[in-house]
Structure 1
């Protein structure tokens, strides 16, 4: 099985890992914080942070010739589960129909003290 890393410009990482790794037809996207291309975290409303996480995932997918429609599994990590409803509203805007399988987990702390992190798996093997 072939394996390659996907590192688009402007995709900050905060440790020894790749933004994404493609193994065969699957693309494993590392957890995305609400990070600007400079690496600085976006502060402000959780809506804006969730949107930026999803936009960062979309950018990584584009670099691998994929789209958000190729996602098959998403995991959302929240520092505060009270943000769940708001994050759901933002998340839903990224999918016309048939969203991917998903889990949402509250955690004690996220890297860089972020409020949200989203990781994903996409299938890029076609229909």
Structure 2
């Protein structure tokens, strides 16, 4: 790929699947989708969907930091995937606490299933300019 750089960090889960944790294209970083997986153990974290959302955001933040960004402050767009929209408000609580008064643009969709049967996954786009 021309003018792109794959981003890899130990601070976010990695797999043997054929994708990068993130890809930087100029000042834009595309962060792959993450579920609530602990990067040290490779296991889904314990807790409710709110606790799991916090872990997902920590995974995204680690990729942004590795790319030279300033964590979640540089995130401009997020897609939230939920297996049950009943979790929407709980996810919003955790999400709102991490993003504060100026959250990024966002899409939220309900999906039938996610890898490892987790309840929440997020991907993100960050601007590193």
Q: Return the TM-score normalized by structure 1.
A: 0.93
CA RMSD of aligned residues (A): 1.2
- Aligned partners of 2:46 and 2:110: how far apart in 1? 19
TM-score by length of 2: 0.92
Instruction: Summarize deviations over 1:47-102 as a string: whole Å, max 9, x none.
Output: 11000000111111111111211111100000110000000010001123211000
Residue 49 of structure 1 is aligned with which of 52, 71, 89?
A: 52
Q: Which runs of 5+ in 1 are unaligned?
A: none
* 2:62 is aligned with 1:59: yes
Equivalent position of 1:113 in the other structure: 117
> Matched residues in 1 for 2:11 and 2:58: separation?
12
Q: How does 1:1-127 map to 2 (within 5 A)?
A: 2-14=3-15, 15-37=17-39, 38-66=41-69, 67-125=71-129
Change (3 A) 1:16 1:5: same
Deviation at 1:116, TM superposition (A): 0.5
Which 4+ residue blocks in structure 1 deviate beyond 6 angstroms? none
> Counterparts of 2:101 and 2:11 in 1: how far apart (Å)?
29
Distance of 2:98 and 2:118 partners within structure 1: 21
Aligned length: 125
Q: Which moved more, 1:8-17 or 1:18-27?
A: 8-17
Q: How far, CA to CA, are the matches of 1:7 and 1:23 in structure 2?
A: 14
